[in-house]
Structure 1
Amino acid sequence: MERSSKKNSKGKQEKDMYHVIHKVPYGDSPYVKAKHAQLVEKDPEAAIVLFWKAINAGDRVDSALKDMAVVMKQLDRTEEAIEAVKSFRILCSKTAQDSLDNVLIDLYKKCGKIEEQIELLKRKLRLIYQGEAFNGKPTKTARSHGKKFQVSVKQEISRLLGNLGWAYMQKSNFMMAEVVYRKAQMIDPDSNKACNLGLCLIKQARYDDAYLVIQDVLQGRLSGYDDLKSRKRAEELVMELKSRQPLLESSDLVGLDDDFVKGLEQLMDEWGPLRSKRLPIFEEISQFRDQLAC
């Protein structure tokens, strides 16, 4: 009996270790089979079929839809993934909607749907400004690479604004990108967004302004300055500055998205008294109006 008990215990430990190593959940449901096909068998096509079965069976629909979209993206079936998320997100819980938005943003970015990306980022920002996205709380729980961590309102707004700034950069709307990046840096500055702002200013032939922004990275004034990738990029931007001539192409003068800027300020005015009790960061955002480069 003792030997049998030890054997069973060892078998359970090995089984547990298998699930930990491969990050496969327990069970024999369609979702579990899909994760096994994705992570263990490395068969993405079979995984997609099984994820579909999981969704149709109501088996962990939130995770199945998100995971399926990620696998489709890896197979360059991005358009199909977008349609799947938009069509079946109604089956998912309310708590899954924010992460599904993030999946959609990545998919839009992958296939070059910049307008859709911008509109979704704006919508997510409005939800935060209205106090809806975080349910009035100063932080939310996020997950990355299987690990949970807390994200503050400051960090989330700055992250979304950083993504929005980059989307405007892809449209060559450098003036609007600058406004968004400066707003993001006021809230939660970091080296990566500073490099993007520096590039944005270079595109506008504002080389002195760009140099000052990039120097903040090189002199370690911002978080993430010790990241080798950020330092290398900052150094490359300095080299680009040295090679540039102070000539501004007329094609670079793309105007501000005035409606969006005014809309954000109107939201701040309307919701300010409510938000100031729960989310003080919006008071900091409202101070940015006087600094907009119109």
Structure 2
Amino acid sequence: MEGGGNNLKMKQEKIREGSFHVIHKVPSGDSPYVRAKHVQLVEKDPEAAIVLFWKAINAGDRVDSALKDMAVVMKQQDRTEEAIEAVKSFRDRCSKQAQESLDNVLIDLYKKCGKVDEQIALLKQKLRMIYQGEAFNGKATKTARSHGKKFQVSIKQETSRILGNLGWAYMQQTNYIAAEVVYRKAQIIDPDANKACNLGLCLMKQARYDEARPVLEDILQRRLAGSDDCKSRNRAEELLHELESQHPSFFSSSSSVFNIEEVFIEELDQLMKEWARYRSKRLPIFEEISQFRDQMAC
């Protein structure tokens, strides 16, 4: 009976231990990476967690996850520059499968510390990988995770997402013509309300109010994915209100807003030349960008 009682206690202890790991989303075991996650999520000591993530990387323990998790914690601690250097320095220790997600981590870090040029360069690189058929490790879809839930992402959705980020980066440079071109391409591939708001804003920044109005009205008339989101609808209403009042802040004295960005056009031309030999794998977006560019240049 005593032996049976001990076995029961051991089983109950294992169940409690398993429940603990599930509740706190902490992996089981006693490796450096597991200790780092425990300190991060249970003890909530980010600085100590960063030290332990370093130890996990140096020990070769779940390096893919350790590097990404450490960069995220560093970003939360306003150690963004250090996180960027860490990812660049140690990503060669990570698997091939982890490289795309590390690029996403870098893009977030560049955005956090205002490195717009670096962000644009990396986004273009990701588009190049899609164009050449190298994204998603050659697969048509990939599994992504958000708020603890897994879901499938298609190449089409990923292309639109990257273009949306690229458009926003150009907007930070007040390069509204470049942003407009990119947002229009993103909307052709996978239209949604958030990018429509940004496209409308790009047009308004160029004082092209008649073109901006139907773009924003499509959101309020629920013609786009995400139009039921209160944030998108409220933003569209605010922009329409600004449009109707033709607020002077939407007029800019900067010639870069109104002139075709020759550098951007040259970059697109160069990318087209680089990608020409991959024409069989080429997504329609790359043909459409070229056509749209020619129309704008006329």
Please classify the TM superposition score into its range, dividing by the shorter chain length: over 0.9
Q: Which residue is 2:142 aligned to?
A: 140
The correspondence for 1:164, drawn from 160, 163, 166, is: 166
CA positional deviation for 1:76? 0.4
In the TM superposition, what whole-angstrom CA distance separates every residue of 1:187-229 from its partner, at most 9, and x where no partner exists? Answer: 0110110011111111111111111100111111111111111
CA distance in 2, matches of 1:208, 1:125: 31
Task: Name which structure has the greater RCO, CA cutoff 8 Å, separation 6+.
Answer: 1
Are the aligned partners of 1:25 and 1:32 in contact in 2 as well (CA < 8 Å)?
Answer: yes
Alpha-carbon distance in 2 for matches of 1:284, 1:74 = 36
1:27 equivalent in structure 2? 29
The answer for the alignment partner of 1:279 in structure 2 is: none
Q: Which amino acid aligns with 1:260?
A: E
**Can you give the 5+ residue segments of structure 2 that lack an aligned partner in the other structure?**
none
Counterpart of 1:249? Answer: 252
Counterpart in the other structure of 1:60: 62
Residues in 2 aligned to 1:267 and 1:206: alpha-carbon distance in whole angstroms: 33
Q: Deviations over 1:152-184 (max 9, x none)?
A: 010000000000000000000000000000000
Aligned-residue CA RMSD (Å)? 1.7
The residue type paired with residue 145 of structure 1 is H
Q: Does the alignment pair 1:286 with 2:291?
A: no
**Deviations 1:11-50, CA, capped at 9 Å, x for gaps:** 2121111101111001111111110111001100000000
How far 1:285 sits from its partner (Å)?
A: 4.1
Counterpart for residue 182 of structure 1: 184
Mapped partners of 1:207, 1:75: distance in 2: 42
Is residue 2:243 matched to residue 1:233?
A: no
- Tell me how far apart the structure 2 counterparts of residues 33 and 88 of structure 1 sit (CA, whole Å): 20
Q: Which residue of 2 aligns with 1:78?
A: 80
Structure 1 residue 259: deviation in Å? 2.2
Secondary structure (helix, strand or coil) at the match of 1:54 reads helix
Counterpart CA distance in 2 for 1:103 and 1:254 is: 34
Cα pair 1:130 1:267 within 8 Å, conserved: no
Secondary structure in 2 matching 1:287: helix
In the alignment, is the contact (CA less than 8 A) between 1:55 and 1:61 conserved in 2?
Answer: yes
The question of 1:152 aligning with 2:162 is answered no
| 1:193-232 matched pairs, under 5 angstroms | 193-232=195-234
Alpha-carbon distance in structure 2 between the residues aligned to 1:147 and 1:110:
25
TM-score normalized by the length of structure 1: 0.93
**Partners of 1:291 and 1:120 in 2: CA distance:** 23
Q: Number of residues paired by the alignment?
A: 288
| Secondary structure of residue in 2 paired with 1:24 | coil
Return 5+ residue gaps in structure 1 as ranges: 277-281
Within the alignment, does 1:261 sit opposite 2:261 as a pair?
no
In 2, Cα distance between equivalents of 1:117 and 1:254: 23
Give the TM-score normalised by the residue count of structure 2: 0.92
